[in-house]
Amino acid sequence: MSSSFQAPKGVSEYVPPRADLFAAIRSAFAEQARLAGYGYLELAVFEDTNLFRRGVGESTDVVSKEMYTFEDRGGRSLTLRPEFTATVLRAVLEHNLHKQGALPVKVWTTGPAFRAERPQQGRYRQFYQLDLEAIGTEDPRVDAETIALAARWYASLGLTQVRLLLNSLGCRECRPGYRTLLQEFLRGLDLDEATRARIEINPLRVLDDKRPAVQAQLTGAPLMADHLCAACQEHHDRVRELLADLGIAWEDTPRLVRGLDYYTRTTYEFDHPLLGAQSGIGGGGRYDGLAEDIGGPALPGIGFGLGLDRTILALEAENAGFEAAPRCEVFGVPLGAEAERRLFALADELRRAGIAADTAFGGKKLKGAMKDADRSGARFAVILGERDLAAGEAQLKELATGDQTAVPLTDLTSTLRERLSR
Ligand code: HAM
């Protein structure tokens, strides 16, 4: 029986063995980020509500409908982070990282984010992202570097079906003119009340409408790609050239818009075809005006958020074969008090040698302890009984085959190291 309590609806939780996978893919990302010079940040999980209002944008679903906002005991309005970019930028400016070293400031962070969405497979109210940002340069090589980092991480996990959808959303020079054109086009369509309202507030989002009746009418809609200013066009061409140099495939997706208001120029999504409605496994782009929007200096930036939950679902859907390192390779089966002592010390020795080891606890008999050994996932059991102790050896049993050999106690660590590497 469980307790009287359950986790709140829509919270994504992980327990072993899935949680081991979760931790392993996050570690793999940490290593990629390190190799590319990105430093780690550990940041606030809640912020002044106005940071997200101004940063992410009032017209977005995230801010207008999905934030977990509460008043603290001092009457301040706080919000659980619905995303990381605004928080990262706030922290970079607050800690003056942009004044301390070379630009761009290259950083990453990870943890839960919160959005009050309708929960379903792949869409949670508490979910997990890997977030990486490069702040302080417009150099298109940084756009390509960040995209490559995400693509290489997916590939390193064994995912082969990830698609990269790429677009440019222009800048504060060329987008207003395009926005007006798009609004004129959209006002002439047959749309419902709510969508007509959206034309006035956030017309680009209408392009993203998934309903077939709406999509059918959008065929002739003007596209940002055809109205980029010369500087944005050049930037976009450079990014694509650099991705091609790295051998990273993408699909030009001129209708791609993102759910957050801060994006400029390069925008992209990583999509997984086996995940149904929640196929966006990661997304990102440039936000060249965001620092000023939150009261800081002009500091262009680019980055991404990769959804850890959906990445796990993609691994499972593709049966990608990426596995966490085992939690137990050798399992000690002690029979009697002296054997318990010896195997307790052996487990410690094995761990220090980098071998995952565990033992039976609670004074179990042979049968119970062997059952634990099987459940542990270990390759080998080390069985130590009174007769073995007297002979100065232990029984080394390969669990998959049942093969058993006696090994001198003094040779156990080296023998196990050798046999595990076979
Ligand atoms: P986003 O597209 O809103 O972008 O979220 C990034 C990823 O987080 C999505 O692609 C998806 O995998 C995952 N995600 C979002 N909402 C949920 C949810 N309710 N349940 C499960 N997974 C979810 C951002 O958040 C931007 N801050 C990314 C960014 C960083 N742009 C520039 N820098």
Question: Nearest 5°: CA angle at 376, between 373 and 380?
Answer: 55
> Of ligand 1's atoms, which has the minimum distance to the CA of residue 84?
27
For the chain, the C-alpha Rg in angstroms (whole number) is 27
DSSP character string of 13-81: ---TTHHHHHHHHHHHHHHHHHHTTPEE----SEEEHHHHHHHH-TTSHHHHH---EEE-TTS-EEEE-
Q: Which of 61, 83, 274, 281 to mutate to test the pocket of ligand 1 (most atoms within 8 A of CB)?
A: 83
- Compute the distance from residue 269 Cα to the ligand 1 centre, in Å: 10
pLDDT for 56 equals 93
- Compute the distance from residue 280 Cα to the ligand 1 centre, in Å: 8
- Compute the distance from residue 129 Cα to the ligand 1 centre, in Å: 7
Are 249 and 242 in contact, with CB atoms under 8 Å apart?
Answer: no
- Compute the distance from residue 260 Cα to the ligand 1 centre, in Å: 10
Please determine, looking at this structure, whether the domain spanning 18-174+228-318 carries the CATH number 3.40.50.970.
no
- Compute the distance from residue 49 Cα to the ligand 1 centre, in Å: 19
Are 32 and 132 in contact, with CB atoms under 8 Å apart?
Answer: no
Are 416 and 330 in contact, with CB atoms under 8 Å apart?
Answer: yes
Helix crossing, 175-187 with 193-201: angle to 10°? 160
**Which strands sit side by side in the sheet containing 126-135, from one edge to the other?**
39-40, 105-114, 126-135, 301-307, 280-286, 264-271, 163-168, 251-252
The protein residue whose alpha carbon is closest to atom 24 in ligand 1 is: 305
Q: What number of other Cβ atoms are within 10 A of residue 276's Cβ?
A: 12
Q: Which of 120, 127, 164 to mutate to test the pocket of ligand 1 (most atoms within 8 A of CB)?
A: 127
Measured distance CA(300)–CA(92) in Å, rounded:
13
The protein residue whose alpha carbon is closest to atom 3 in ligand 1 is: 259
Measured distance CA(1)–CA(410) in Å, rounded:
45
> Of ligand 1's atoms, which has the minimum distance to the CA of residue 305?
28
Residue 157 sits at φ, ψ, to 5 deg, of -85, -5
Q: Which residues line ligand 1 at a C-beta cut-off of 6 Å?
A: 83-85, 115, 117, 123-124, 127, 129, 131, 133, 259-260, 280-285, 303-305, 307, 309-310
CA atoms within 13 A on the CB side of 246: 19
pLDDT for 407 equals 98
- Compute the distance from residue 70 Cα to the ligand 1 centre, in Å: 22
Fold of 330-420: Rossmann fold (3.40.50)
Output the pTM of the full model: 0.95
The protein residue whose alpha carbon is closest to atom 6 in ligand 1 is: 305
Could you tell me the residue ranges of all domains in the chain? 18-174+228-318, 330-420
- Compute the distance from residue 147 Cα to the ligand 1 centre, in Å: 15
- Compute the distance from residue 397 Cα to the ligand 1 centre, in Å: 47
* DSSP 3-state of 7: coil
> Of ligand 1's atoms, which has the minimum distance to the CA of residue 310?
12
Cross-strand pairs, 332: 359, 382
The single-letter code of the amino acid at 400 is: A
Digitized pLDDT (tens) for each residue of the chain, 422 residues in all:
689 999 999 999 999 999 999 999 999 999 999 999 999 999 999 999 999 999 999 888 999 999 999 999 999 999 999 999 999 999 999 999 999 989 999 999 999 999 999 999 999 999 999 999 999 999 999 999 999 999 999 999 999 999 999 999 999 999 999 999 999 999 999 999 999 999 998 899 899 888 999 999 999 999 999 999 999 999 999 999 999 999 999 999 999 988 888 999 999 999 999 999 999 999 999 999 999 999 999 999 999 999 999 999 999 999 998 999 999 999 999 999 999 999 999 999 999 999 999 999 999 999 999 999 999 999 999 999 999 999 999 999 999 999 999 999 999 999 999 999 98
Measured distance CA(388)–CA(406) in Å, rounded:
8
- Compute the distance from residue 130 Cα to the ligand 1 centre, in Å: 9
**Which strands sit side by side in the sheet containing 357-359, from one edge to the other?**
357-359, 330-334, 380-384, 393-398, 404-408
> Of ligand 1's atoms, which has the minimum distance to the CA of residue 258?
2
Kindly tell me the sign of the dihedral angle through the C-alpha atoms of 13, 18, 19, 23: negative
Helix crossing, 18-35 with 140-156: angle to 10°? 150
Task: Enter the DSSP assignment of 136.
Answer: S
Single out the residue of 11, 22, 12, 10 nearest to residue 311, CA to CA. Answer: 22
Are 67 and 116 in contact, with CB atoms under 8 Å apart?
Answer: yes
- Compute the distance from residue 206 Cα to the ligand 1 centre, in Å: 19
Strands 126-135 and 301-307: antiparallel
Q: Which of 38, 129, 133, 271 to mutate to test the pocket of ligand 1 (most atoms within 8 A of CB)?
A: 129
DSSP character string of 263-290: -EEEEEEEE-TTSTT--EEEEEEE-TTH
> Of ligand 1's atoms, which has the minimum distance to the CA of residue 115?
19
CA atoms within 13 A on the CB side of 254: 12
Residue 377 token pair: 């996932």
Single out the residue of 403, 411, 409, 360 nearest to residue 379, CA to CA. Answer: 403
The runs of H, that is alpha helices, within 95-254 are 97-100, 140-156, 175-187, 193-201, 203-207, 212-217, 230-245
- Compute the distance from residue 360 Cα to the ligand 1 centre, in Å: 43
> Of ligand 1's atoms, which has the minimum distance to the CA of residue 117?
19
